[in-house]
Structure 1
Amino acid sequence: MGTVSNSAEWVRSASHFTDRVTADGRDGWPVEPGRYRLVVSRACPWASRSLVARRLLGLEGALSLAVTDPVQDERSWRFTLDPDDRDPVLGIRFLGEAYRAREPEYDGGISVPAIVDVPSGRLVTNDYQRITLDLATEWSALHRPGAPDLYPEALRDEIDERMDGIYRDINNGVYAAGFAKRQETYDAAYARLFARLDQVSEHLAGQRYLVGDTITEADIRLFTTLVRFDAVYHGHFKCNRNKLTEDRVLWAYARDLFQTPGFGDTVDFDHIKRHYYRVHEDINPTRIVPRGPDLRGWRAPHHREELGGRPFGDGTPPGPPPAAEVVPPL
């Protein structure tokens, strides 16, 4: 969620509900298997971070999943993919109901990802920047055997620095370009976006992952933007200096992650395209969803293993996704 400021610049809204689910329960929400439900849209890059982290860490059995319709309406994200248009666990039709169960007078944006307390039906947090970090650290007692360390303590300063630039100029940068209302605002966002992509591409030319020799939270955050780049950001958001497929390094890096268990098996390109092209009517008033691009290249060999690296460190890949969470194959 975000707004356009008086200077015609896109400003992402801060998360309103920032309680944390922690091992010691210091915010009143202790980690407990089965107590919470993660609500996501497979269309949303911020929610997709939590989908990837949950899969890599093997939290499927501890943290249940609700997937919304990729096209929300004025009443918020809808559970129209479920029987009777109602989430079978929370018993609600719209995510906004969980927000108002937490704060009855709340009238702000309804965003995903969201963690909801199942017994009370109340929203716990919509802090997309913190949720995945807590899944990696506070939920460690419930991780699967062989789960990777996505936020290793010794590398956190470097990971945080990488993520800060990626968030500002890439994750949020595509939105700053796409929702700009003035030429100079768009031009500035466009310049920052591609300057950062060039920097990241140069960095990744010599190493397989962003920080260290294993997958970390930084890779998850970059991937969720890259996987949407050609399908929506290049055309819909006018981020069109070049396609992802035209950057040899970033395209191979993105394919490497896509083909890693826990990444590509969470991606639904149909949800992604329908959301962006049908919801953003100010950008695409016809609401026509394009047929392309051809997605078959995502399965092509990437050869990034030649750079070394150990995707899961001393751990192991996650198993296949639960049957109810399998996405359509490319």
Structure 2
Amino acid sequence: MTERQEHSKGGVYSVPGQAFERDSRYITTRITKDGADGYAVEAGRYRLVAARACPWANRTLIVRRLLGLEDAISVGLPGPTHDADSWTFDLDEGGLDPVLGIHRLKDAYLARDPHYSKGITVPAIVDTRDGAVVTNDFAQITLDFSTEWTDFHRDGAPDLYPAHLREEMDALMRYIYTEINNGVYRCGFAGSQEAYASAYYRLFDALDTVSERLETRRFLMGESITEADVRLFTTLVRFDAVYHGHFKTNRSKLSEMPVLWAYARDLFQTPGFGDTVDFQQIKSHYYEVHRDINPSGIVPLGPDPAVWLTAHGRETMGGRPFGDGTPPGPVKPGEEVTPDGRADA
């Protein structure tokens, strides 16, 4: 492992003998109703760039779909692999994003700041007027989808960030991020056996904790889906396909943790979740890009994704997945997950 290792998808730092540390220097500009940061909510103005392979980007695809923001915010979908320089639009005709007209996401970052030197990350929201990135602050993007873009929510959109639950949710989501979302990376990019062991036990302690929480409630905050579920799901859905082997999180497969496995399948089978997931792209990204962990670049053929459609039994717990709202309709034409991972935007 190199002394300082950085990946375009996040800014990943790992030093031999030390614990993994994520580079979290993001562009924190917000798009708001009042346009306080210089960017006002406006349908058709912004383009979300979100690779299906990336768990942080997957969050934005799920929330955008649950809230019905597809017509207000267009989407660009980079391919699952990238070089050390940038995510690229290799799934689009001619390798060119059809709206932004660029081959590399890096170009949108440089349009914002010609001297930009931080990570070229997804998700990123780009202003189509000048082709410049507005924000790549993934945690805030989805919260703003819920709170700032309400004028463009679909009829029946769920409340993913209920005001009366926010204090508890914020604490829970911080825990999920530090211990689980980022926890799998601490295992995968540990710089020593000691750092790996510490990360391993910390991760599974957290998974056991949320499993206990979900024994008595269908979703993390109770009877309805919230942003907290979205954040946990994107790690769980990648667990057996990638993290268990590639990141050595192998105490148990997700499919061997009964409560979490049933919970994850419940969400996967809910419109807005599984229909944003492309297992082939997920595996291709991790196993082909992380050559320091997987030098051969060989991508595993399993596991069979059909297991995600098996009965989960969580409906017997009752609840209202969409609260007072309704499920989203069919996936927007051109955004379907297809066998070769292509999607027209």
TM-score w.r.t. length of structure 1: 0.98
Stretches of 4+ aligned residues off by more than 6 angstroms: none
Aligned residue number for residue 74 of structure 1? 84
Distance 1:116 1:263 in 2: 24
Instruction: Report the equivalent of 1:8.
Output: 18
Q: Is 2:251 the counterpart of 1:245? A: no
Number of equivalenced pairs: 330
Q: Deviations over 1:246-305 (max 9, x none)?
A: 011000000000000000000000100000000000000000000111221100111101
Tell me, yes or no, if the aligned pair for 1:190 and 1:239 is still in contact at 8 Å.
yes
C-alpha deviation, 1:212, in angstroms: 2.6
The residue number in structure 2 matching 1:287 is 297
Asked if the contact 1:176/1:189 (under 8 Å) is kept, the reply is: yes
Q: Map 1:1-330 to 2 at 5 A.
A: 1=10, 2-5=12-15, 8-328=18-338
Alpha-carbon deviation of 1:6?
Answer: 7.1
Partners of 1:215 and 1:105 in 2: CA distance: 41
Deviation for aligned residue 1:323: 1.6
Cα distance between partner residues in 2 of 1:174 and 1:149: 29
Structure 2 unmatched runs, 5+:
1-9, 341-345
Change (3 A) 1:6 1:27: farther
Deviates further, 5-14 or 299-308: 5-14
Cα distance change on mapping 1:306 and 1:329 into 2, 3 Å:
farther
Structure 1 distance, partners of 2:184, 2:124, is: 22
Cα deviation for residue 15 of structure 1 reads 3.5
Structure 1 pair 34–235 and aligned structure 2 pair: CA distance change class (3 A): same
| Counterpart Cα distance in 2 of 1:92 and 1:57 | 28
The residue type equivalent to 2:87 in the other structure is W
Return the alpha-carbon distance in structure 1 between the equivalents of residues 162 and 22 of structure 2: 28
- C-alpha deviation, 1:191, in angstroms: 0.6
Determine if contact 1:236/1:277 at 8 Å carries over to the other structure: yes
2-structure distance, mates of 1:15, 1:309:
38
Displacement of 1:84 in angstroms is 1.1
Where does structure 1 lack aligned partners over 5 or more consecutive residues?
none
Shift of 1:10: 1.2
Change (3 A) 1:272 1:242: same
CA distance in 2, matches of 1:196, 1:149: 26
Distance in 2 between the 1:242 and 1:267 partners?
Answer: 22
Letter in 1 for 2:193: Q
CA contact (8 A) 2:15 2:191 kept: no
CA RMSD of aligned residues (A): 1.2
Distance 2:34 2:101 in 1: 29
Q: Identity of counterpart residues, as a percentage?
A: 61
CA contact (8 A) 2:16 2:192 kept: no
Partners of 2:187 and 2:199 within 8 A in 1: yes
TM-score between both structures, scaled by the size of structure 2:
0.94
Deviations 1:304-325 (A, max 9, x none): 0111110100000000111201
- Secondary structure of the 2:187 match is helix
Contact 1:15 / 1:126 at 8 angstroms: preserved in 2?
no
Contact 1:262–1:318 under 8 Å retained in 2: yes
Shift of 1:107: 2.0
**Partner SS for 2:246:** coil
Say if 1:15 and 1:128, in contact at 8 Å, map to a contact too. Answer: no
